[in-house]
A and B are shown apart, each in its own frame.
Chain A
């Protein structure tokens, strides 16, 4: 018994420097994208559906979370029933049940509810716009209705995090106050929030999943946007773990005895081609495919010290939904030049295009030199490219605007890095119903077969058919090349040797419960 107790408390404090410029919001709906979700989302808050963070050998998929199971009504495919897990407690000691789920859904989807959270709602509805209504069936059962049949709805509900309604009342019924003393159901509870400085989480001993009670006593998250500052903080022992070390510093970090961890995860760094702009050369599929054959992905991998892998599609090559596309992109300038010739280009008529790129930004790595490298290799095949360089905020604005509007600044493509976790993301970026400015298909790319297959997937309940059709979708994406597939990020992080037991999984999120630290 004594041994068990001392083992359970062998954890220590893990200090992590993240790339965000501020502490992600602690209200149970973190901002700062999926980095926010990684550190101040899933460790402290949970959803009905979880990402499986237990296996590193394959792409992460969803598993039951606060719901033990779910089912789709065969007679009405928009109706989903979630059976809730029993015996789950919030950090404030109150019970998680159907009332809590209903309350939390109103927080995100009912602007008239007293607990409506404008910011949290915007972020949740951005990722999951399809919730139409919800009701409590009994204390442990909830029904959610979507506006359209969506077989991949469970992937979307994974981002609606549950917090304690009682705690919200207790702090006075505002999200500003809740941020200072939040309560979720996760393996860690947030105990201190200092804006722009840090957030501290402690192990939650009453966590429902006894197999995943955290070993660490504490995690402290420090926002540190400047990469040299993160590097110095790690090397001087102020933190134990940094996200995104500067790639140039990787060899010297290794030499100094730090661990560099990299692993595949669902991220892609592409150019999105503008198909709507009337004079965009990328309206011609041959030009898009030619560009994909004319970039030297390996040189970018070398340039970034091995912290990315070549991308030849939306998913990486080992993904179960990669499929068997016709185009197998390699660096083949001759093939690219032949394709351009067939499209009417040649030495006297080079392809002229403008690309909108950012100076920096979340997930963008080092966009300036990476894009210059692309510009250089593409030039060899007959592309004359110029860049329109903007700050990341302006790039986000352009992404949401008409690709022929002033925000796009006349560009024929834009460089934005994105999440590729599942088929809902494929729908988001490529479905013709999602044309910008009303959706996220910025380039207004449309392929009839793609739309048809996607709609079949959305309306199907046959998991085998969904899997097979999803792979077909991906084959179309590779062969029709709506984007220039460049690289997938490998999520480099550097940590001191004191950090033990971290196994990176192929997801945007990570499990912190198995980690210990030698103090």
Chain B
């Protein structure tokens, strides 16, 4: 088992290195750089050149990359060229803000997804199955930023019962004032995991229900709950994999929802860095998110291996 974990971790190293190269190259491929965006349009070439020299942007790209990687390996994520603030503190703040949304959204999405998916499989072919399936398809296919805007229009503008934007007070969400700000973005963000998970749970459960061993269990005289336990255990591995992925997506891929709700999270930080061509922030954010993604995948792999010994081989 330990060997399995170590092997998984070893695989992650080239993945992260690859990500760092691609990210760095992509930032360089876009026209212009942070200095072009930073100085006012009326700046002369000379002013821009002085700034570029100051931030080492006049070095050849491979030198810039190696320097950046060297600092990264020492745990130094660098300084935002645009704001002058350390990337590590900006990113930590942004990730914490995103976690405030991503954890409840994942929990809500998964719970709803498992319940809807299992019920749909249980009532396979009936109108209930069709209703639940339609709900999950809607969850996957409606653009969630659009759903966010609609929710804001209803609950913030027309009914005026919930705030339409922002995070509310600082700190760990404990008070009602915090929670009010969470409700609409969390619901919006939970739609995709809800849809994806419920589709998969339904398919997975249906597939397991049809297998011979379930028939055998029934033949042995096992009933209801005990059979369901066996079904769930067998249906779990693919569901677990998708849950890990969905959580990873929410950490980095919720930029649109964060934009609609003006939520200062990691997606928002990444979008800003793209528009400002702020390479240190963008590269660090993507690499850190990729590392989190890799870690989540390792955890999921290990959990799957624990549940299903066949995977360990």
Binding site for B on A (CB under 8 A): 21-22, 25, 31, 33, 111, 118-119, 122-123, 125-127, 129, 175-176, 179, 194-197, 222, 224-226, 228-229, 231-233, 235-238, 390-394, 396-400, 407, 416, 418, 428, 437-440
Task: Tell me the nearest residue of chain A to B160, going by C-beta.
Answer: A236
CB-defined A-B contacts under 8 Å, sample of 23 = A31-B82, A111-B50, A119-B51, A122-B47, A122-B48, A123-B38, A127-B42, A179-B84, A194-B170, A224-B165, A226-B262, A229-B164, A229-B262, A232-B156, A233-B262, A390-B31, A393-B31, A393-B37, A394-B31, A400-B41, A407-B32, A438-B46, A440-B42
Determine if B47 and A407 form an interchain contact, defined as CB atoms under 8 angstroms apart: no
Residues of A close to B93: CB separation below 8 A: 195
Q: Is B294 an interface residue, CB under 8 A from the partner?
A: no
What is the CA–CA distance of A397 and B90 in the complex, to the nearest angstrom?
26
Determine if B45 and A393 form an interchain contact, defined as CB atoms under 8 angstroms apart: no
Residues of B close to A226: CB separation below 8 A: 259-260, 262
5 closest Cβ contacts across the A-B interface?
A: A397-B32, A126-B43, A232-B164, A236-B156, A196-B264
Task: Tell me the nearest residue of chain B to A197, going by C-beta.
Answer: B264
What is the CA–CA distance of A226 and B42 in the complex, to the nearest angstrom?
26
> Which listed residue, A118, A123, A225, touches B40 by the CB 8 Å rule?
A123
What is the CA–CA distance of A31 and B152 in the complex, to the nearest angstrom?
30
What is the CA–CA distance of A437 and B48 in the complex, to the nearest angstrom?
11
Given known contacts A21-B272, A226-B259, A176 and B40 CB-to-CB distance under 8 angstroms: no
Task: Tell me the nearest residue of chain A to B269, going by C-beta.
Answer: A196
Residues of B close to A238: CB separation below 8 A: 163-166
What is the CA–CA distance of A418 and B42 in the complex, to the nearest angstrom?
10
Determine if A393 and B166 form an interchain contact, defined as CB atoms under 8 angstroms apart: no
Task: Tell me the nearest residue of chain A to B162, going by C-beta.
Answer: A236
Determine if A233 and B47 form an interchain contact, defined as CB atoms under 8 angstroms apart: no
> Which listed residue, B32, B51, B54, touches A393 by the CB 8 Å rule?
B32
What is the CA–CA distance of A222 and B263 in the complex, to the nearest angstrom?
12
Given known contacts A129-B47, A226-B262, A393 and B85 CB-to-CB distance under 8 angstroms: no
Bitwise interface map of B from 22 to 54 toward A, beta carbon under 8 Å scored 1, else 0: 000000001110011111111111111011001
Determine if A229 and B260 form an interchain contact, defined as CB atoms under 8 angstroms apart: yes
Given known contacts A196-B264, A229-B261, A438-B45, A393 and B276 CB-to-CB distance under 8 angstroms: yes
Determine if A396 and B32 form an interchain contact, defined as CB atoms under 8 angstroms apart: yes
Bitwise interface map of B from 162 to 186 toward A, beta carbon under 8 Å scored 1, else 0: 0111110010000000000000000
Task: Tell me the nearest residue of chain A to B94, going by C-beta.
Answer: A196
Q: Is B202 an interface residue, CB under 8 A from the partner?
A: no
Determine if B152 and A232 form an interchain contact, defined as CB atoms under 8 angstroms apart: yes
Q: Is B277 an interface residue, CB under 8 A from the partner?
A: yes
Determine if A125 and B43 form an interchain contact, defined as CB atoms under 8 angstroms apart: yes
What is the CA–CA distance of A235 and B157 in the complex, to the nearest angstrom?
6
Determine if B36 and A175 form an interchain contact, defined as CB atoms under 8 angstroms apart: no
Q: Is B64 an interface residue, CB under 8 A from the partner?
A: no
B:106-159 near A, CB below 8 Å: 149, 152-153, 156-157
Distance between B96 CB and nearest chain A CB, rounded to angstroms: 13
Determine if B41 and A122 form an interchain contact, defined as CB atoms under 8 angstroms apart: no
Most buried by B among A118, A129, A179: A118
Task: Tell me the nearest residue of chain B to A442, going by C-beta.
Answer: B41
Residues of A close to B46: CB separation below 8 A: 438
Task: Tell me the nearest residue of chain B to A22, going by C-beta.
Answer: B272
Determine if B44 and A129 form an interchain contact, defined as CB atoms under 8 angstroms apart: yes
Known: A126-B40, A129-B44, A393-B30. 12 other contacts (CB 8 A): A33-B40, A118-B54, A122-B38, A195-B85, A232-B152, A236-B160, A238-B163, A393-B275, A396-B36, A399-B41, A418-B41, A440-B42
Determine if B50 and A122 form an interchain contact, defined as CB atoms under 8 angstroms apart: yes
Task: Tell me the nearest residue of chain B to A392, going by C-beta.
Answer: B275
Determine if A394 and B32 form an interchain contact, defined as CB atoms under 8 angstroms apart: yes
Determine if A126 and B47 form an interchain contact, defined as CB atoms under 8 angstroms apart: yes
Determine if B260 and A122 form an interchain contact, defined as CB atoms under 8 angstroms apart: no
Task: Tell me the nearest residue of chain B to A390, going by C-beta.
Answer: B31
What is the CA–CA distance of A481 and B170 in the complex, to the nearest angstrom?
53
B:36-81 near A, CB below 8 Å: 36-48, 50-51, 54-55
Determine if B269 and A176 form an interchain contact, defined as CB atoms under 8 angstroms apart: no
Q: Is B304 an interface residue, CB under 8 A from the partner?
A: no
Given known contacts A126-B44, A179-B84, A195-B90, A232 and B32 CB-to-CB distance under 8 angstroms: no
Binding site for A on B (CB under 8 A): 30-32, 35-48, 50-51, 54-55, 82-86, 90, 93-94, 149, 152-153, 156-157, 160, 163-167, 170, 259-262, 264, 268-269, 271-272, 275-277
Determine if B84 and A236 form an interchain contact, defined as CB atoms under 8 angstroms apart: no
Residues of B close to A222: CB separation below 8 A: 166, 262
Task: Tell me the nearest residue of chain B to A120, going by C-beta.
Answer: B84
Task: Tell me the nearest residue of chain B to A198, going by C-beta.
Answer: B166
Most buried by A among B40, B93, B264: B40
> Which listed residue, B39, B54, B85, B165, touches A229 by the CB 8 Å rule?
B165
What is the CA–CA distance of A393 and B31 in the complex, to the nearest angstrom?
8
Residues of A close to B277: CB separation below 8 A: 393
Distance between B143 CB and nearest chain A CB, rounded to angstroms: 14
Distance between B97 CB and nearest chain A CB, rounded to angstroms: 9
> Which listed residue, A125, A176, A398, touches B84 by the CB 8 Å rule?
A176
What is the CA–CA distance of A233 and B164 in the complex, to the nearest angstrom?
6
Determine if B45 and A196 form an interchain contact, defined as CB atoms under 8 angstroms apart: no
Task: Tell me the nearest residue of chain A to B43, going by C-beta.
Answer: A126
What is the CA–CA distance of A123 and B84 in the complex, to the nearest angstrom?
14
Determine if B41 and A440 form an interchain contact, defined as CB atoms under 8 angstroms apart: yes
What is the CA–CA distance of A377 and B47 in the complex, to the nearest angstrom?
40
> Which listed residue, A126, A176, A194, touches B42 by the CB 8 Å rule?
A126
Determine if B275 and A391 form an interchain contact, defined as CB atoms under 8 angstroms apart: yes
Distance between B309 CB and nearest chain A CB, rounded to angstroms: 47
Distance between B187 CB and nearest chain A CB, rounded to angstroms: 16
What is the CA–CA distance of A237 and B167 in the complex, to the nearest angstrom?
15
Determine if B32 and A237 form an interchain contact, defined as CB atoms under 8 angstroms apart: no
Determine if A438 and B44 form an interchain contact, defined as CB atoms under 8 angstroms apart: yes
What is the CA–CA distance of A295 and B40 in the complex, to the nearest angstrom?
29
> Which listed residue, B35, B38, B164, touches A236 by the CB 8 Å rule?
B164
Residues of B close to A225: CB separation below 8 A: 259
Given known contacts A195-B90, A236-B157, A400-B41, A25 and B262 CB-to-CB distance under 8 angstroms: no
Most buried by A among B90, B166, B167, B262: B262
Residues of B close to A438: CB separation below 8 A: 44-46
Determine if B43 and A400 form an interchain contact, defined as CB atoms under 8 angstroms apart: yes
Given known contacts A22-B272, A176-B84, A396-B32, A232 and B153 CB-to-CB distance under 8 angstroms: yes
Residues of B close to A22: CB separation below 8 A: 83, 272
Determine if A21 and B275 form an interchain contact, defined as CB atoms under 8 angstroms apart: yes
Distance between A263 CB and nearest chain B CB, rounded to angstroms: 23
Task: Tell me the nearest residue of chain A to B277, going by C-beta.
Answer: A393
Given known contacts A195-B90, A196-B264, A233-B164, A397 and B50 CB-to-CB distance under 8 angstroms: no
Determine if B272 and A196 form an interchain contact, defined as CB atoms under 8 angstroms apart: yes
Distance between B158 CB and nearest chain A CB, rounded to angstroms: 9
What is the CA–CA distance of A229 and B145 in the complex, to the nearest angstrom?
11
Distance between A30 CB and nearest chain B CB, rounded to angstroms: 11
Distance between B38 CB and nearest chain A CB, rounded to angstroms: 7
Residues of A close to B165: CB separation below 8 A: 224, 229, 232-233, 238
What is the CA–CA distance of A224 and B269 in the complex, to the nearest angstrom?
13
Residues of B close to A25: CB separation below 8 A: 83-84
What is the CA–CA distance of A237 and B156 in the complex, to the nearest angstrom?
9
Distance between B201 CB and nearest chain A CB, rounded to angstroms: 34
Residues of B close to A229: CB separation below 8 A: 152, 164-165, 259-262
Task: Tell me the nearest residue of chain B to A407, going by C-beta.
Answer: B31
What is the CA–CA distance of A264 and B303 in the complex, to the nearest angstrom?
64
